[in-house]
Amino acid sequence: MIRNRVEPKPLPKVRPSHLPGIFGKFEDVVCAAIKSLEATTEPFNQEKLKLFRFILARVDTEKYGAMQEIQLADGKLNLATDIVKYIDPVGWFESKLRAALLVGLDKRAPLEILDIGTGPAHFPVIAEFYGHKVLGTDLPYRTTGKLERGHIYDALAEIYGVRRIPLKVLPFTPLPLLDQRYDMVTAFLAAFNLDAEKKPWTTEAWTFFLNDLHRNVLTENGELFMSLADEKLTDEVWAFLKAHAVFSNDTSKQIHIIDFSRFGG
């Protein structure tokens, strides 16, 4: 049984399947997922079971509940968006677990990973579950240049214990100098690849970005794994990225690039 931490209210932009995880007690939601998986023999479900046990031990459930009360309060809640859907932990962790397994994080020696646009921070938690070190980035708050305290992404990242820095990706602009190089750069449903007029990046802009990663961010054998959004991607660019990828998926727009020499930078 999942008890409510916050009294449920209509969320017109959010799928009903997320509602128990949004309003319910964190420990009840995760324990229900664990219980449903305890008799499993299917490998992916066994990974989920181990992950959810890890998350339950990692998260301060009282802090999570306090976050729910703040984010779902009438004065804070914005019914015009669906952003509170990320409070529901189970489905988002499951989707990022699939991505982590796809790039073999469960089998690799520890990697240094830079997660661009880490958002609600589900992927870094999973990477750390498999023993990797992750630094997340998010857009800086416009007036201060720092991360925006009080935003739901900020609140979730703090509760999950994910390190983040402010970073904005701009077309034809090198990324700021970082303290180290990374074995892998990740980005999930990347939102940075729009120009000032909100148009999707061109192949030239992508070439600049990929060359910059290769020259200044990644280690010698560094990799890039992304999932992209259709509305932020042209057919020409997708074909260009696919031609340079070791793996791509036309439906999910996931792409894995390990050879940067072909970009000519």
Per-residue pLDDT of the chain (265 residues; tens, 9 = 90+): 999 999 999 999 999 999 999 999 999 999 999 999 999 899 999 999 999 999 999 999 999 999 999 999 998 888 899 999 999 999 999 999 999 999 999 999 999 999 999 999 999 999 999 999 999 999 887 667 777 777 899 999 999 999 999 999 999 999 998 999 999 999 999 889 999 899 999 999 999 999 999 999 999 999 999 999 989 999 999 999 999 999 999 999 999 999 988 765 5
Write out the two tokens for 28.
């009840």
Whole-number Å distance between alpha carbons of 109 and 102:
15
Whole-number Å distance between alpha carbons of 61 and 66:
9
125 HSE (CA, 13 A, CB side):
29
| pTM of this structure | 0.94
